[in-house]
Amino acid sequence: SKYTLDGKESVNTMGMGESKSTATWSADGKSLNIVTKMAFERDGQSMEFTTTETWTLNSPASLTIVSKRDTPNGEVTTTMAYDKK
């Protein structure tokens, strides 16, 4: 996916349809927040997911991405940590 970093909406095509995302910097400038909304149909039912990702560069060699997704079954949170070797 491609995002603009100025708070304007970005539209990306994904396997199940189109997603619309907005990327903004946190107030302290240390994290990038990306909110993505995706609507699609599955088995004749319309569904919408909203995902909020927070990308934080903890050091020049460490990145953490926290992803929260609102689904019809509740919120799912995933944390991924990347360390440069």
User: What is the tens place of the pLDDT at every residue in 17-60?
Assistant: 789 999 999 999 899 999 999 887 778 888 788 999 999 999 98
pTM summary value:
0.82
Residue 70: band (very low, low, confident or very high) from pLDDT cuts 50, 70, 90: confident
Give the long-range contacts of residues 45-53, CB within 8 A, separation 24 or more: 47/72
Query: Higher-confidence residue: 15 or 30?
Result: 30
For 26-52, the DSSP string reads -TTSSEEEEEEEEEEEETTEEEEEEEE
Query: Higher-confidence residue: 39 or 81?
Result: 81
